[in-house]
Chain A
């Protein structure tokens, strides 16, 4: 698959990250640099502990780099304060997690609506947007159901609807099919493919599943804290 030349929406330069485990410092990422073009669908693969999720968290602004720079949509996110970063995430990043991470006490439509509570939209507009997003993931018949009343695949589709509700710059997905059966996984991957191809969403997906990675337009491998293109 040949990627069409586009502007970079994510620019990562010399990013390093390590964690402290007791008295030890464990390096996770070392001097990572790469760009992600607007409208890209990138899959990040690698063995457990290679730093895939850490890299995804750094790009999504839910973790801090030790060194280096990350620019997303022209914003240098490494210098943002905690509050600025929270506001930035709310408007620029949609999250899809392996275990869906829906709020169990809210219905499907309320879960989808949740990020819009940080906007100035009226109650009615919020509900309309949420219903539209649920229609997009073919779940408009399950709006009043709680997460516990939905299958894994359905919960993940609700999570995707929640991720796209605020029309983010970037969609990040951490093992989105890791907890799903094959049929549900295919449905979710189809949906993500459509979001990328039809709506032009930039998607970064961390996965262990080669079939899921095969749906991406670009594939990168992380190993021992360093990043490699799939064909290298």
Chain B
């Protein structure tokens, strides 16, 4: 216990230095935590994807449509339980800065296939009945202050013109990983609107993608192969993949950015290491005489190493704790400010484990050289520094 007392007291002997070091570690851990959360946010769609859902799109590119007539053929494929479809609408609300994901979907099959979107029965019924109706996530509703039965106009960027919708329902995510910033409306409304507005619109009776529910996760690969095989040599060949692979495809488009963020997060760790190592080098140099006294009294290398590593761990873990605590409000602020880009911005337990791991590695590495110096110095030389 006395050794622990020495360790803790030593950690705060030079208060200013320790506070500055703690501040450095706190900021670094906060930055590391936020960067890891950004990376996690990028992968949120992948994490939230279901193992029993497949996505079929045009094999050339997602920007090319598939005929609506494919729905029945897909439904007949062995292993398929449910089929839904949708189209990326790409509309903006009032101004282009008000960006959020908006899709035209087949309402009934979509809600059946995505049980993670929770709605009250009355909202669901109202949405299904009204062809101009839409549902939106809780966060999106809060962002714009919409109320049920409000008329919301989106300006189409792909399907040009102003499109009016009536808010019929608000959904909540079943878990933290569910995106609550999306906007869904009736595909029929879009299809009919296109027919009215532009003759022979290339997207009439066409969909952007099919969402397919399979009976079991293990049949996913064979079902995907069967679907694609069925449309081989057709005018619009398909590419079917698991929802996870589909989402990963989007993440891969930002691969370079994610890699850059990852590199920066590791650089932050190296910076903390330099800060803590510098502090430990200074404190050990100052206390080399005291360590010599302890060695004189019979304390061994293990005790000296324990004191130095212990001090390094105390300072680093305190900074880590403060940094971790600060990550939550900072992430909340970040989420409010950049919610449109990162709809799911949650500090995951994995991020906190990474924080602790990084702090542990930093504390350990920072203590190595000072410990070596302290245990290798001759007692007589150390005692001379005491006087």
Query: In the complex, A21 Cα to B298 Cα: how many Å?
Result: 28
Are A106 and B2 within 8 A (Cβ)? yes
Find the B residue at minimum CB distance from A110: B2
Query: In the complex, A101 Cα to B385 Cα: how many Å?
Result: 11
Query: Per-residue CB proximity of A60-97 to B under 8 Å, as 1/0?
Result: 10110000000000000000001100110111000101
Q: List residues of A (77-126) whose CB comes within 8 Å of B's CBs.
A: 82-83, 86-87, 89-91, 95, 97-99, 101, 103-106, 110, 113-115, 117-118, 123
Query: Per-residue CB proximity of B132-168 to A under 8 Å, as 1/0?
Result: 0000000000000000000000000000000000000
Are A62 and B6 within 8 A (Cβ)? no
Q: At the interface, yes or no: B10 with Cβ under 8 Å from chain A?
A: yes
Find the B residue at minimum CB distance from A163: B297
Instruction: Point out the residues of chain A lying under 8 angstroms from B378, CB to CB.
Output: 63
Are B299 and A118 within 8 A (Cβ)? yes
Q: List residues of B (5-22) whose CB comes within 8 Å of A's CBs.
A: 5-6, 9-10, 13
Query: In the complex, A115 Cα to B289 Cα: how many Å?
Result: 17
Q: At the interface, yes or no: A196 with Cβ under 8 Å from chain B?
A: no
Query: In the complex, A63 Cα to B379 Cα: how many Å?
Result: 7
Are B380 and A62 within 8 A (Cβ)? yes
Are A90 and B298 within 8 A (Cβ)? yes
Return A128 CB to nearest CB of chain B, in Å: 15
Query: In the complex, A162 Cα to B293 Cα: how many Å?
Result: 12
Are B380 and A118 within 8 A (Cβ)? no
Q: At the interface, yes or no: A33 with Cβ under 8 Å from chain B?
A: no
Q: A63-B379, A105-B6 are in contact. Are A115 and B298 (CB under 8 A)?
A: yes
Interface of chain B: mostly helix, strand, loop or mixed: helix
Query: In the complex, A105 Cα to B296 Cα: how many Å?
Result: 18
Q: At the interface, yes or no: A184 with Cβ under 8 Å from chain B?
A: no
Q: At the interface, yes or no: A218 with Cβ under 8 Å from chain B?
A: no
Instruction: Point out the residues of chain A lying under 8 angstroms from B298, CB to CB.
Output: 86-87, 89-91, 115, 118
Instruction: Point out the residues of chain B lying under 8 angstroms from A97, CB to CB.
Output: 293, 383, 386-387
Interchain CB contact (< 8 A) of A105 among B13, B294, B380: B13
Are B293 and A62 within 8 A (Cβ)? no
Query: Per-residue CB proximity of B273-315 to A under 8 Å, as 1/0?
Result: 0000000000000000110011111111100000000000000
Q: At the interface, yes or no: B3 with Cβ under 8 Å from chain A?
A: yes
Instruction: Point out the residues of chain A lying under 8 angstroms from B293, CB to CB.
Output: 97, 101, 103
Return B18 CB to nearest CB of chain A, in Å: 13
Q: At the interface, yes or no: A8 with Cβ under 8 Å from chain B?
A: no
Query: Per-residue CB proximity of B203-226 to A under 8 Å, as 1/0?
Result: 000000000000000000000000
Find the B residue at minimum CB distance from A113: B2
- Size category of the binding interface on chain A: 20 to 34
Query: In the complex, A86 Cα to B301 Cα: how many Å?
Result: 10
Interface size on B, residues (CB 8 A): 25
Q: A57-B380, A105-B5, A105-B6 are in contact. Are A99 and B387 (CB under 8 A)?
A: yes
Find the A residue at minimum CB distance from B293: A101
Are B387 and A86 within 8 A (Cβ)? no
Instruction: Point out the residues of chain A lying under 8 angstroms from B13, CB to CB.
Output: 104-105
Return B198 CB to nearest CB of chain A, in Å: 81
Instruction: Point out the residues of chain A lying under 8 angstroms from B296, CB to CB.
Output: 60, 62, 89, 95, 101
Are A103 and B380 within 8 A (Cβ)? no
Return B195 CB to nearest CB of chain A, in Å: 83
Q: List residues of B (63-110) whose CB comes within 8 Å of A's CBs.
A: none
Return B284 CB to nearest CB of chain A, in Å: 15
The winner among B13, B289, B295, B380 for most chain A CB atoms within 10 A is B380
Query: In the complex, A117 Cα to B6 Cα: how many Å?
Result: 13
Instruction: Point out the residues of chain A lying under 8 angstroms from B299, CB to CB.
Output: 86, 90, 118
Are A101 and B386 within 8 A (Cβ)? yes
Query: In the complex, A123 Cα to B10 Cα: how many Å?
Result: 22
| 4 tightest Cβ-Cβ pairs between the two chains A and B | A90-B298, A105-B9, A62-B379, A99-B387
Interface CB pairs A-B, < 8 A, 11: A57-B379, A57-B380, A62-B379, A95-B297, A98-B387, A99-B386, A104-B290, A110-B2, A110-B5, A117-B2, A118-B299
